[in-house]
Structure 1
Amino acid sequence: MSWVNRHMTNSASESHSLLPWLALQQAAGLGPVRGWKLWQRLGSGCSDAGCLSEADINEALRTQLLASQQELLEKVLQWLHSGPDRHILTRADPQYPEQLNRLSAAPLFLFVEGNVNVLHLPQLAVVGSRHPSYVGKENTRMLLPPLIAAGLAITSGLAMGIDGLAHQAALDAGGVTLAVFGSGLAQCHPKRHVRLARQIVESGGVLISECYPWDMPQAFQFPRRNRIISGLSLGVLVMEAAERSGSLITARFALEQNREVFAVPGARQNPQAAGCNQLIQQGAKLVCSPDDVLEELAGFSAAAVKIHDTATEQSLPYPDLLDTVGLEATAPDVIAERCRQPVHEVLTRLVELELAGWVESVPGGYVRARRS
């Protein structure tokens, strides 16, 4: 039970434990950094006239801090009690995620829905394009299960594209995933991920936001959301990102927060890979397999980490043909030309390989399947 939940008696009284935090949050121009410093100085006295009169605070700020927050408090508590597993965690709450609380600009409080205990699990942030290519989608599906098996929870932003795929990959692998909203928790964005958000909670994960539950999504909130995604995590894995992708903002926050940054490389012809390639040029860890991530995070839980042997003892069927099929769709006639075999024989072998799970038929031809 959260610190706020344990202080619910006389919730409408002027001494409610959440009121000083609401005062700090509502004070214009104060911000999370100065707000936290003020709390460290004054504690619950942040909204007390006597304490503020003795503090070295200008009159304008003092007036804001003393403004009544009773109406706002009632709205917040209404959300808290209108559903199960809802929590409000202030920075003074022992359940506030420690990894995030180390940051000077951490949110003064978080709205959380779901299993609050998973906030303390070792987490890997996974971000990327909202319009990923086939390669980006496949990399997300292939790279995450071993990382989840090693004990990492997957944290992302519930956006379309890579974010949603990362959450779904965690659910499919029986892992834990955390979704950080750029809106209030009562205003899921995008709307088509309402069901995914519900699955995250039902599977033991959590939804997190620093916005009031009723806040609609606004553009300026999403970069702020990104600092929480990276702040909760040990590192950030960028799956696929264009040169001006919002995912690069998350990577920049990760660097500022002294977190690891990982990036999956891509072909130079793919504009969706330009951001990842740029990150690698700037020093991000190049990721070709799950082990590339795990070896950098080995300290998070030595007992949990499993470095996987990527070598396979199984011989490849039709290796000369498979060598010509990659992660980009390749037409059968092109495959035949590359491996110098008749088209009818190539088509027959492609069908055999598809049935055996080595290739997949997609619009435009064939691609390598995940097992290969």
Structure 2
Amino acid sequence: METATKRRAPHLSDTQRLAWLRLIRSENVGPTTFRELLNHFGSAHTALDALPELSRRGGKKTYRLFSKDKAEAELAALYKMGARLVAMGEPAYPPLLRHIDAPPPLLAIRARDPLQQELTGTQKTLAIIGARNCSVAGAKFATTLAGDLSAHGFTIISGLARGIDSAAHKAALSAGTIAAFAGGIDTIYPKENQALFSSMIAANGAAISEMPIGRNPRARDFPRRNRLISGMSLGVILIEAAEKSGSLHTARYALEQNREILAVPGAPLDPRSVGANKLIQQGAALIQSVEDVLEVIEPTISMSLPLHHGIDEPAKSWPALEELETPTTLHPKNAREQDRQAIIDALSETPIDQDELLRFTGVSLQTLQLILLEIELAGRLERHKPNKLSMIHAASS
């Protein structure tokens, strides 16, 4: 019986994986758009065929589809360096990451064993982050805490940055530690941490990235990286952070993702401690030892968060694996021009809630979703949290 026998976790076929890669790398397709396209068309193959026409109807004359040759070259380069592209729902895909807003449909994972699943597939993951220009005391505490948490069976994830990140990774080497990259999985940043990264891989650690191979990290890529760090973790531990540091952005993501936020208090006159101290004032757990962390985190491990869904048991409206190659008949293939114009007229540069837009225009939900896809693929739509939309008027054609 299925209740007594654990089902084998699903996998994409090579053909499906190639189509998923082409779709997520195509112009104006992000994680949210990717999911909407699969929900609408039933498969990545069908969605790829529809992209140019969808974009044209949205107002863009030419559309850049990611080619099959480029996708095959990216997959080959990943395999050559010992990395793999893992789809959401496959065993190595981080289970907690699956439940964030707009999770990456494909994640590059690099490890000594390309098929490694133990680290990235565990839910006992904690993030340790903090200042790049950390104090000696901060680095020492990060080292002690990461080592103690590793000894208690936790996997430590961080961003491979200088300072606190590096100290945490080094202390967790023996148990395995995960680095989240802002650029491609082949791009070590900063370069001075090349030796540390090599040590991590040699010690059965891993690296993750949602970015294309060969991409150098840009400023706007680090927030996306930070959401992966918090999204993979039961909680985020902050050790020294200035008032406007990237570490505080990670803490904000953790709050949005319903993760625990923990902070180490610092000297009031040290600007590196302002961010952590303010988080404590705002309700973050005050941490002074591994026992403090365990007291906060251990109750969350047994919570009933549905972590064991596969691709065929979606938690966020993903189609079943067996349906990925079956075009859907649940959604319209085209929309009336009068409905399209009504939605475009109703949108402006001021964000509007999608439900309000639905009520105002009077179109069906399926028609609205199709027209929004058209406008977004044309580069004219911007999505805002939690469920708001606005028009971008200066789009290129």
For residue 74 of structure 1, what is the aligned residue in structure 2?
Answer: 72
For residue 159 of structure 1, what is the aligned residue in structure 2?
Answer: 161
Alignment length (residue pairs): 288
Per-residue CA deviations over 1:290-346 (Å, capped at 9, x if unaligned) read 1111011113557xxxxxxxxxxxxxxxxxxxxxxxxxxxxxxxxxxxxxxxxxxxx
For residue 32 of structure 2, what is the aligned residue in structure 1?
Answer: 33
TM-score normalised per structure 2: 0.67
Per-residue CA deviations over 1:209-252 (Å, capped at 9, x if unaligned) read 11112111211111110000000000000011111111000000
Q: How many Å separate the matches in 2 of 1:206 and 1:40?
A: 31
In structure 2, the gaps of 5 or more residues are: 1-8, 303-397
Per-residue CA deviations over 1:178-210 (Å, capped at 9, x if unaligned) read 000111121111111111111111111111111
Q: How many Å separate the matches in 2 of 1:181 and 1:218?
A: 11
Distance 1:120 1:187, change over 3 A: same
In the TM superposition, what is the alpha-carbon distance from 1:42 to its structure 2 partner?
2.8
For residue 20 of structure 2, what is the aligned residue in structure 1?
Answer: 21
For residue 346 of structure 1, what is the aligned residue in structure 2?
Answer: none
Higher relative contact order (CA 8 A, sep 6+): 2
Contact 1:2 1:95 in 2 (8 A): no
Q: How many Å separate the matches in 2 of 1:49 and 1:216?
A: 27
Q: Does 1:87 align with 2:88?
A: no
Contact 1:263 1:287 in 2 (8 A): yes
Q: How many Å separate the matches in 2 of 1:94 and 1:118?
A: 11
In the TM superposition, what is the alpha-carbon distance from 1:58 to its structure 2 partner?
6.6
Per-residue CA deviations over 1:119-152 (Å, capped at 9, x if unaligned) read 1221000000000012211211222222111111
Distance 1:61 1:215, change over 3 A: farther
TM-score normalised per structure 1: 0.71
The counterpart of 2:109, out of the listed 103, 112, 137, is: 112
In the TM superposition, what is the alpha-carbon distance from 1:278 to its structure 2 partner?
0.8
Distance 1:56 1:299, change over 3 A: farther
Contact 1:19 1:47 in 2 (8 A): no
In the TM superposition, what is the alpha-carbon distance from 1:60 to its structure 2 partner?
4.7
For residue 123 of structure 1, what is the aligned residue in structure 2?
Answer: 125
For residue 238 of structure 1, what is the aligned residue in structure 2?
Answer: 238
Contact 1:128 1:239 in 2 (8 A): yes
Q: How many Å separate the matches in 2 of 1:72 and 1:63?
A: 23
Aligned pairs (5 A) from 1:177-326: 177-299=177-299
Contact 1:123 1:155 in 2 (8 A): yes
Equivalent position SS for 1:208: strand
The counterpart of 1:149, out of the listed 139, 148, 151, is: 151
Q: How many Å separate the matches in 2 of 1:239 and 1:258?
A: 20
In structure 1, the gaps of 5 or more residues are: 8-15, 303-372
In the TM superposition, what is the alpha-carbon distance from 1:30 to its structure 2 partner?
3.4
Equivalent position SS for 2:182: coil
Matched residue type, 2:263: A
Equivalent position SS for 1:192: helix
For residue 41 of structure 2, what is the aligned residue in structure 1?
Answer: 42
Distance 1:49 1:253, change over 3 A: closer
Q: How many Å separate the matches in 2 of 1:204 and 1:17?
A: 28
| Percent pairwise identity | 37
Matched residue type, 2:257: Q
